[in-house]
C-alpha cells in the first residue's frame, strides 16, 4: 500500500500558538494552568497536556460558572488561558474576575473575525455569521454583535432571517467550506444588495481543503482523515473527501484504522485536522505503510 500524506496535515499555527502559551506557564511551574473548555478539539492532545499540568475546566461551549476550589496561595500561582476558539467579551470579563493571571490564546484569525464584527456592530450593523451556532467559536463571536447577530448554515436560514435593515455584514466561522460561503453570500446579496461580505475562512482551512483535491489528483483511492470528532475543520475535511466521491475513513487514532477494508486500496491518502498532533498522524501513517 502506498501512503500519501497531505502537506498541511497537523497543527495550524493558531493551535500551535495556543499550546505554546499554555505550556510556557506549565514549564515555569505556574500550576495549575486552566483552560476554559478544551484548549483544542483533540482529546488525545488534551490528555497529554493534562499530564503536563494543563487542566481543562468548564464546558465545551464556555458557558458554565467555574468552581475551582483554590485558596489564595493557589490562586496566585494559577493561570487561566482562553482557548484557541476565543470567547465572548462577557466571558472574558468573567474569567478575568476569577483573581488569577489571565492569558488570551485566541487564534489571531478568530480575533480578526471578532474585530470585523465589533467594528461594524458599533456602527449599527447587523451581523450574519455563517457557521454552527453551537460551536464555541461562533458562540464567542456572537458576543461581539451587540444583540444584532444571526447564525446561518443554509439558504433556508437566510429566508428565515428577520428584517435586518440597510446595514448588514456577513462573516464566516473560520473552518467552513469556501464554496458554501460564496454561495450563501450571493444568496444574501439578493436580499440585501448592500451587504458587506468578509470571507473570514482561515488560510489553514483553505489549505487543508485544497490538499484533499491534491491527494485525489495524486491517485489516492481512499483518504484517511485523522482528528477529533468534535473538531469542526476535521469533520469538514471528511465531508469534503466524500464530495470528491472517495471512500473516507475518519479516525481519531491509529487503533481505529480498519486495515481489512483499507488493504483493498493500492494508494491511500492521509490528512488531518488543524488540531491533530503530529504523533497521531505519524502513528497512522506507519500502521498503514506496514499493512500488507
Nearest to 218 by CA among 191, 187, 244: 244
Q: Is 56 left (phi over 0), alpha (psi -120 to 50) or beta?
A: beta
Instruction: State phi, psi for 158 to the nearest 5 degrees.
Output: -65, -45
Residues 127-143 have a mean pLDDT of 97
Q: Tell me the backbone φ, ψ of residue 65, rounded to 5 degrees.
A: -75, 150
Task: Evaluate whether 184 touches 156 at the Cβ level (below 8 Å).
Answer: no
Lowest mean pLDDT among 38-47, 89-98, 235-244: 38-47
Q: pLDDT-derived band of residue 292, with 50, 70 and 90 as boundaries?
A: low
pLDDT at 108 over 90: yes
pLDDT exceeds 90 at position 185: yes
Region of poorest pLDDT, from 37-51, 149-163, 164-178, 205-219: 37-51
Joined grid coordinates for residue 262 = 483499507
For 69-97, the pLDDT digits (tens) are 888 778 878 999 999 999 999 999 999 99
What per-residue confidence (pLDDT) applies to 247?
Answer: 97
What single-letter DSSP state applies at residue 239?
H
Percentage of the chain exceeding pLDDT 70:
99
The span from the CA of 106 to the CA of 110, in Å, is: 7
Give the mean model confidence (pLDDT) for residues 37-59.
Answer: 89
User: Does 109-197 match 13-107 at the fold level?
Assistant: no
The pLDDT score that the predictor gives to residue 30 is 67
pLDDT in tens, 1-34: 899 999 999 899 999 999 999 999 888 876 689 9
Q: Is 47 annotated in the active site?
A: no
Is the predicted pLDDT of residue 43 greater than 90, yes or no? no
CA atoms within 13 A on the CB side of 70: 19
Fold of 13-107: Rossmann fold (3.40.50)
Predicted pLDDT at 172? 98
Which of 209, 135, 204, 142 has the alpha carbon at shortest distance from 171? 142
What is the C-alpha to C-alpha distance for residues 100 and 81, in angstroms, rounded to an integer? 10
The per-residue pLDDT for range 51-68, each reduced to its tens digit, is 988 999 988 888 899 988
Cβ neighbour number for residue 228 with a 10 Å cutoff:
23
- Sheet hosting strand 101-104, strand order edge to edge: 54-57, 33-36, 79-82, 101-104
Are β-strands 248-251 and 196-197 bridged in parallel, bridged antiparallel, or unpaired? unpaired
Q: What are the backbone angles phi and psi of residue 268, rounded to the nearest 5°?
A: -120, 130
Mean pLDDT, rounded, of the chain: 93
CATH 3.40.1010.20 fits 2-10+203-290, yes or no: yes
Distance of alpha carbon 73 from alpha carbon 8, whole angstroms: 43
Question: Cell 451587540 sits at which residue?
Answer: 146
In the block, which residue shows the cell 478539539? 41
What is the Rg, in whole angstroms, of the alpha carbon atoms belonging to the chain? Answer: 21
DSSP type of residue 134: T
The active-site residue out of 137, 155, 182, 207 is 137
Measured distance CA(135)–CA(86) in Å, rounded: 11
Question: CATH for 109-197?
Answer: 3.40.1010.20
Domains of the chain, residue spans: 2-10+203-290, 13-107, 109-197
Q: What is the pTM of this model?
A: 0.92
Amino acid at each position: 500500500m502506498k501512503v500519501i500524506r497531505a502537506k498541511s496535515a497537523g497543527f495550524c499555527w493558531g493551535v500551535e500558538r495556543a499550546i505554546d502559551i499554555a505550556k510556557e506557564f506549565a514549564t515555569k511551574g505556574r500550576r495549575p494552568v486552566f483552560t476554559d473548555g478544551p484548549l483544542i478539539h483533540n482529546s488525545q492532545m488534551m490528555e497529554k497536556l493534562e499530564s503536563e499540568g494543563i487542566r481543562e475546566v468548564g464546558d465545551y461551549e464556555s458557558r458554565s460558572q467555574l468552581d475551582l476550589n483554590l485558596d489564595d496561595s493557589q490562586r496566585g500561582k494559577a493561570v487561566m488561558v482562553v482557548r484557541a476558539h476565543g470567547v465572548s467579551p462577557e466571558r472574558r470579563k468573567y474569567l478575568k474576575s476569577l483573581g488569577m493571571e489571565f492569558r488570551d490564546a485566541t487564534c489571531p484569525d478568530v480575533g480578526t473575525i471578532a474585530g470585523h464584527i465589533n467594528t461594524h456592530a458599533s456602527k449599527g450593523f447587523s451581523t450574519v455569521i455563517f457557521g454552527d451556532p453551537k460551536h464555541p467559536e461562533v458562540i464567542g463571536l456572537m458576543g461581539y454583535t451587540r444583540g444584532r447577530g444571526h447564525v446561518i448554515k443554509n439558504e433556508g436560514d437566510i429566508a428565515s432571517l428577520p428584517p435586518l435593515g440597510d446595514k448588514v455584514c456577513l462573516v464566516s466561522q473560520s473552518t467552513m467550506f469556501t464554496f458554501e460561503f460564496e454561495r450563501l453570500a450571493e444568496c444574501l446579496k439578493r436580499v440585501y444588495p448592500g451587504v458587506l461580505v468578509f470571507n473570514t475562512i482561515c488560510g489553514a482551512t483553505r489549505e487543508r481543503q485544497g490538499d484533499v483535491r491534491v491527494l485525489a489528483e495524486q491517485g489516492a483511492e481512499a483518504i484517511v482523515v485523522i482528528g477529533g470528532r468534535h473538531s469542526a475543520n476535521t469533520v469538514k475535511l471528511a465531508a469534503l473527501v466524500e464530495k470528491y466521491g472517495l471512500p473516507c475513513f475518519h479516525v481519531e487514532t491509529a487503533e481505529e484504522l480498519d486495515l481489512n477494508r483499507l488493504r483493498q486500496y493500492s494508494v491511500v491518502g492521509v490528512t488531518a485536522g488543524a488540531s491533530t498532533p503530529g504523533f497521531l498522524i505519524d502513528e497512522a501513517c506507519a500502521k498503514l505503510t506496514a499493512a500488507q
